[in-house]
Amino acid sequence: MNTENTKLAYADIIILDNGGYLGAVLITDQKGFPVEFRYTDPIIPTKIQKVLYGKGIQKYLKVDVILDSLLKILSNNFELLIVSDEELLSYEGELSAPILRISQTKSPIIGEKGALSKIKDTEYLIQTTSSQSPIRVQLREGDKNLSDENAINTMAEFLCNMSDFIDVYEPLSRVKQSIDLICQKDIQ
């Protein structure tokens, strides 16, 4: 994957104090500058929906309603979709880009920049910089975009190359902060 003219998408969904859900997606260029931002109105399940969906309502709203609707209205393509919530990895819609959950770690450095350590089939540590702890990357189960070792190595190399320009984890915090501002109706 070439990092020139690259776009990354970052998605997050939060549960509001009133039991509603609100999600947003930010697409950035290779320097981390915003290219596109979309968010949903708060979705508050009714009592009957809570009863009918049972324990599955949270996953249904996050993945099948909010994430799916956000991805369908985006006007820009992107190379990776980075999420903060593990439930979002269960997205089953058609997507030409891999979905990754990235989290920071306090693990010791695992080698030179680009080092990759497999934790399990869908989870890796990637040393994206030579001086900081590796990031933890979880993959979507059965993601056809990351179906073999070569594709995973290419994705890891891409994240390492991107880290020369931006902190690949940081835009997730901007999405969260934007959602918070939307909830406070403080978007001016």
CA distance 121 to 89: 14
Pairing mode of beta strands 135-139, 123-126: antiparallel
CB 104 within 8 A of CB 133: yes
Per the rule left: phi > 0, alpha: psi between -120 and 50, beta: everything else, 185 is left
176: burial class by Cβ within 10 Å (0-12, 13-18, 19+)?
A: middle
> Which structural domain range is residue 60 located in?
8-183
Tens digits of per-residue pLDDT, 87-106?
A: 999 999 888 899 999 998 99
Whether residue 135 is contained in a domain is answered as yes
**Residue burial 69-108, b: 16+ Cβ < 10 Å; e: rest:** ebbeebeeebbbbbbbbeebbebeeebebbbbbbeeeeee
CATH no. for residue 174?
3.30.420
CA distance 182 to 23: 10
The pLDDT of residue 138:
94
Closest residue by Cα to residue 162 from 134, 137, 129: 129
What's this model's pTM, rounded to 2 decimal places?
0.90
Indicate the helix (H) or strand (E) that contains 91. Answer: none
The pLDDT of residue 147:
79
Whether residue 1 is contained in a domain is answered as no
Question: Per-residue confidence of the chain (188 residues) as pLDDT tens digits?
Answer: 555 678 999 999 999 888 899 999 999 998 899 999 999 999 999 999 999 999 999 999 999 999 999 999 999 999 999 999 999 999 998 888 999 999 989 999 999 999 999 999 899 999 998 888 999 999 988 888 787 888 898 999 989 988 888 888 899 999 999 998 888 875 55
Pairing mode of beta strands 99-104, 21-28: unpaired
The pLDDT of residue 188:
52
Whether residue 188 is contained in a domain is answered as no
Per the structure, the count of domains in the chain is 1
